[in-house]
Chains A and B, each alone.
Chain A
Amino acid sequence: MDKMIYSILAVKNNPEKLKTLLSGMKGIAGTDLYEVYFDQIYAVVSDINKTDLINDKSNAIQYAGVIEILAQQFTLLPMRFGSLMESTDLITKMLERNHHEFHQNLQKVENKYEFGLKVFCDSEKLKAELRARSEADNKTPAKAISEIKNSMYKNYMIKKLKEHRLEELLLTYVDSVIADITGYLTRLNAVNKFKKMATETTIIDAVFLLDKERKDALIHTFGDLQNQYTRLKFVLTGPWPPYNFVEITIK
């Protein structure tokens, strides 16, 4: 039987609390959960036959559900779905080998929540607005274009320059929104990670890690930002266990 690992926990005092919690929970495929530990670092585990493991949405959701419940009571590092090891001995050795990294990562996320933010736009409308602004500024075409005699080539170059200019304006606009967000987050002492232009309509995809007691302030902040940026849609999700702030690959 293989062992499915759900998360790595810091259990400083009262390990009975974890045992009691696990006794009332089930893992994927209705399996019992139990702990394997080294020093004060615990792995939450269930037995699973690889052949019985159906990797579908419901199992992945159930797996994440176990992590969510544990995260309400303990500081933890969530594992990626499908993390299997062959025996509890190997798990114990793994915990021992990686003890220092686990400890460091657990300290980093202790008493913190992760939140996710996606900022969506109507890209055609936004581009049209930026285009109108750009034409009002009259920054294109460049002088060199006016010297090109061939009109088809000239038109092509003008079109390409305008497209390039529009892309630049869009990125500048996104950077200004990010700068605004970052300004607010600095006051909340949040760690943040941003991805720009993940898709045509998702101009910002970000995650934040911050102290639990600042949760309400974060929600309030993004409420204010939504009111400020009425042509964008801010979608905030959370709180989550710290999936995006675990920087460790286990040896």
Chain B
Amino acid sequence: MHDNIIDRSKDITILELLDRVLNKGVILTGDIVISVADIDLVYVGVKLMLSSVETMEQLKSGKSLVEK
């Protein structure tokens, strides 16, 4: 009866998935260069999490991220 609370829309799922795989998880120290190009984030009529937008903008500018 409450199964419709789980969002199964593809766009939101991709958004959530990209946010996790790009921003979260285990961080590897050392000489990591991540330059992300051509990532089209899908807007579903809602605003993105700010951290994802900030990360995206930073990466699109071609900066290399060296994790401490």
Q: Hey, which bits of chain A sit against chain B, CB under 8 A? A: 5, 7-8, 50, 54-57, 60-61, 63-64, 67, 77-85, 116, 118, 120, 198-202, 205, 219-220, 222-224, 226, 234-238, 240, 243-244, 246, 248-251
A contact residues around B27 at 8 Å (CB): 80, 248-250
A79 touches B46 (CB 8 A): no
> Interface 1/0s, chain B 37-68, versus A by CB < 8 A?
11110000011111000000000000000011
For residue A142, give the distance in angstroms from its CB to the closest CB of chain B. 33
**A-B interface contact total, Cβ < 8 Å:** 130
B interface: dominant SS: loop
For residue B39, give the distance in angstroms from its CB to the closest CB of chain A. 5
A63 touches B47 (CB 8 A): no
When chains A and B are docked, how far (Å) is the Cα of A202 from the Cα of B16?
Answer: 14
A77 touches B25 (CB 8 A): yes
A202 touches B49 (CB 8 A): yes
A interface: dominant SS: mixed
When chains A and B are docked, how far (Å) is the Cα of A90 from the Cα of B48?
Answer: 37
When chains A and B are docked, how far (Å) is the Cα of A225 from the Cα of B38?
Answer: 38
| Given A60-B18, A236-B7, A202 and B47 contact (CB-CB distance below 8 Å) | yes
For residue A150, give the distance in angstroms from its CB to the closest CB of chain B. 39
When chains A and B are docked, how far (Å) is the Cα of A243 from the Cα of B4?
Answer: 24
A250 touches B29 (CB 8 A): yes
Interface residues of B in 20-40 (CB under 8 A from A): 20-30, 32-40
When chains A and B are docked, how far (Å) is the Cα of A174 from the Cα of B21?
Answer: 28
